[in-house]
Amino acid sequence: MLQERCTRLHIDINDVSSLSPYIFGHNLEHTRASVSGGLSAQMLRNRKFAGRPGARTGVAADWFGIGDRTYFCTDRDPYVRHFKENGMWRRNETNAQTVQNPVQGQLAGIAQGNLFLQKGHVYETAVVAKCSRDTTLLVTLTDLGSGKVYAEHAFDLKVGEWQRCECKLISCADDPEGCISLTFVDQVSVIFGAVSMLPEGHFHGMRRDVVDRLKELGVSLLRWPGGNFAGEYRWQDMFLPVDMRAPLQAYTEDETQPYTHGYDMHEIDTDTFIALCREIGAEPYITLNPAWDTVEECAAWVEYCNGSADTPYGRLRAQRGHKEPYQVKRWSLGNEFGYGHMEGPMSPEEYVKHCMPVAKAMLRVTPELEICSAGPYSYEDRMLHWIENSAKAFAPEASYVSFHTYQNLTYDFTSPESIKRIYGEAWEAAQKNREHLKLLRKHLPDSIHISYDEWNLWAAWFRKSCTVEGMFTARMIHMLLENCDRLHAPVVCYFQPVGEGAVDVYPDHAALSANGQVFSLLCAHRNAQRCRVDGAGEEEAFASLKENVLSVSLINPDFDREKTYCIDQCGQILSAKALLASDLLPGSRFDEMDLQPEATEKTLCVTLPPRSVGLVQFALM
């Protein structure tokens, strides 16, 4: 009876085709809460005292001063700096926090609250400071109200140049609103250049729990450092100690780093990015800053990553403990040139003139590079202009062209009818992206591949995610799996996992959002071969074969009704599970459930609830 009312699927395991391994790519851009407050394990905000101080206080943002008669300022004698100057003009990137105590015996210093402290946890703490005469600096973890001490350590500061003082503080209590203070009582001037506080056991300054969630997503390609942030990044600052690297001010200010007052503290450099890629099993994809880095500096970054130890920059890499080349194959010539939010050339003709020498210089270092040019864009008239005057002009130096899509949904969770409408819009958004891709492919020559390196719903990073977006993500992944190789679009990157879409980061843990749950489920298709599926609706079913395991993913998009699928019996069932969107409100996650297939000698029938994503895996006979 069940088979009479089911959708019959025929999967041909003998009709297989290639499937790009890079469809499960992601972005790691230093925007908003992706790094600061996300991947970065640094617990202190504005730890390098960037920006202007608070009005009439002299204390850097996110800090507060201690001592009624203490004098504070941030406009002299900075510790942080850039490795080299260039034409980029930014303000207040290089500050230090001066604290002058004019009253002997007065407690003076700076402090920062809202630290999530956990009992028994070890915090690796460092202070870079110098003083006008010898003094004792006390570093203390306390509660914010009564000043109850959880841990403390005293440093003897000697008059003279900058000193880096390190200690390990172990909190004796849990306090979600703890405080760190740096204080002294002598009549002396102390200048703080940088302060660091990391939980013990971090991964190259990154949170291990967030790294583990990235592994769960099955990230196959990681695009870094942007996106927009690529136009702000100074890669050679990595040759300075991490505490000495000047903060990087955003060109678009709070749009890029709103939670750090428009500054990035440069916690992640090329070496740590490569370490992250290797840890999570992703291939690196680097975006240059050709708006401000010279031709020679762009080529030098390629040499640092790919040159042998007898080249100038390869030697620098080896001296930093990485003798073997990183072999970074994929590079992008900046991001979204032609838009007002990016610095640099605005027209395709100007862009080619500016960046063609960069591409040629990069290829002289590593001829096998796969270089991606910026644009074209989803509006057809603009798309055609950039294809003709940029994408085609770059061939054969750049055999890829970048493509980005974002759709707006009209969110309204205040009635059942409006929720159902939102759900329908989200489902249709993936279809629109398919048409955008096909339109681009129609106008591009076959020799130019598409790097679809940013996709998401618009402004998803500013609100709570929900299972409505999770269903959109499921259909997008099916659409990409089905179409990308056919449309010569083998590179795809979701924007973006950490803190903005797939991984939600909390003070004490990191968890997959609804989008992350979908990626984790469907990454079973990563590094597999696509099998032909007949009988399914658009983006409803996908099958892949890998190491004698057949993975069949199914989406029931119906808002109200369950749906049964009958599959030709393929082998022993290894697993059958599903994600159910029982709750669609902001902050919702999928219910994870086991499916109960009904098997006969010839078929297997599985019923999916409405608004659900399923995965059935078989060991082939």
Mean pLDDT computed over 192-211: 98
What pLDDT, in 10s, does the model give residues 515-563? 999 999 999 999 999 999 999 988 999 999 999 999 999 999 999 999 9
Task: Give yes or no for residue 3 having a pLDDT over 60.
Answer: no
The closest of 114, 39, 45, 116 to 499, measured between CA atoms, is: 39
What token pair was written down for 127?
Answer: 């202070």
Task: Give yes or no for residue 464 having a pLDDT over 70.
Answer: yes
Separation between Cα atoms, residue 322 and residue 310, nearest integer Å: 13
pLDDT in the model for residue 567? 92
Mean pLDDT computed over 363-383: 89
DSSP state letters, 466-494: -HHHHHHHHHHHHHHHHHTTTTT--EEEE
CB 262 within 8 A of CB 51: yes
DSSP 59: P
Cα 24 from chain centre: 13
Burial (CB < 10 A; 0-12, 13-18, 19+), residue 352, is buried
The amino acid that residue 367 corresponds to is P
Separation between Cα atoms, residue 40 and residue 207, nearest integer Å: 6
Q: Give the CA count within 13 Å in the CB-facing half-sphere of 66.
A: 20
What's the full length of the chain, in residues?
Answer: 621
End-to-end CA distance of the chain, in Å?
27
What token pair was written down for 256?
Answer: 């890029």
CB 87 within 8 A of CB 104: no
CB 485 within 8 A of CB 443: no
Burial (CB < 10 A; 0-12, 13-18, 19+), residue 570, is buried
Mean pLDDT computed over 294-310: 98
The closest of 273, 259, 275, 264 to 37, measured between CA atoms, is: 259
CATH homologous superfamily for the domain 2-17+530-620: Golgi alpha-mannosidase II (2.60.40.1180)
DSSP state letters, 192-207: EEEEEEEETT-BTTB-
Rg (CA), the chain: 27
Task: Give yes or no for residue 258 having a pLDDT over 90.
Answer: no
CB 498 within 8 A of CB 32: no
DSSP state letters, 334-396: -S-TTSTTS-S--SHHHHHHHHHHHHHHHHHH-TT-EEEE----SSHHHHHHHIIIIIHHHTT
Q: What 3-state DSSP class applies to 521?
A: helix
CB 619 within 8 A of CB 548: yes
CB 383 within 8 A of CB 403: no
What token pair was written down for 36?
Answer: 């600061």
Separation between Cα atoms, residue 50 and residue 59, nearest integer Å: 11
Residue 569's pLDDT band (cuts 50, 70, 90) = confident
Separation between Cα atoms, residue 130 and residue 618, nearest integer Å: 65
**Protein fold of 21-41+202-245+256-527:** TIM Barrel (3.20.20)
What pLDDT, in 10s, does the model give residues 399-452? 999 999 999 999 999 999 999 999 999 999 999 999 999 999 999 999 999 999
Mean pLDDT computed over 581-589: 97
Separation between Cα atoms, residue 191 and residue 169, nearest integer Å: 22
What token pair was written down for 599?
Answer: 């098997």
Average pLDDT, the chain: 95
Task: Give yes or no for residue 113 having a pLDDT over 90.
Answer: yes
**Percent of the chain predicted with pLDDT > 70:** 99
More confident call, 466 vs 462:
466
CB 592 within 8 A of CB 576: no
The amino acid that residue 239 corresponds to is F
What token pair was written down for 370?
Answer: 């796969």
Task: Give yes or no for residue 4 having a pLDDT over 80.
Answer: no
Task: Give yes or no for residue 75 having a pLDDT over 90.
Answer: no
Domain 64-199 classification at class level: mainly beta
pTM: 0.97
Task: Give yes or no for residue 378 having a pLDDT over 70.
Answer: no
Task: Give yes or no for residue 322 having a pLDDT over 90.
Answer: yes
Full 3-state SS string of 554-585: EEECCCCCCEEEEEECCEEEEEEEEEECCCCC
**Cα dihedral 294, 296, 301, 303 in deg (nearest 10):** 170
pLDDT in the model for residue 446? 94
Residue 5's pLDDT band (cuts 50, 70, 90) = low
Residue 1's pLDDT band (cuts 50, 70, 90) = very low
Domain boundaries, the chain: 2-17+530-620, 21-41+202-245+256-527, 64-199
- The residue assigned the tokens 């971090």 is 202
What token pair was written down for 184?
Answer: 């002294």
CA 526 to each of CA 24, 329, 458, 523, 614: distance values in angstroms, whole numbers, following the listed order: 7, 20, 26, 5, 16
CA 530 to each of CA 18, 359, 526, 604: distance values in angstroms, whole numbers, following the listed order: 6, 34, 10, 20
What token pair was written down for 418?
Answer: 């409006």
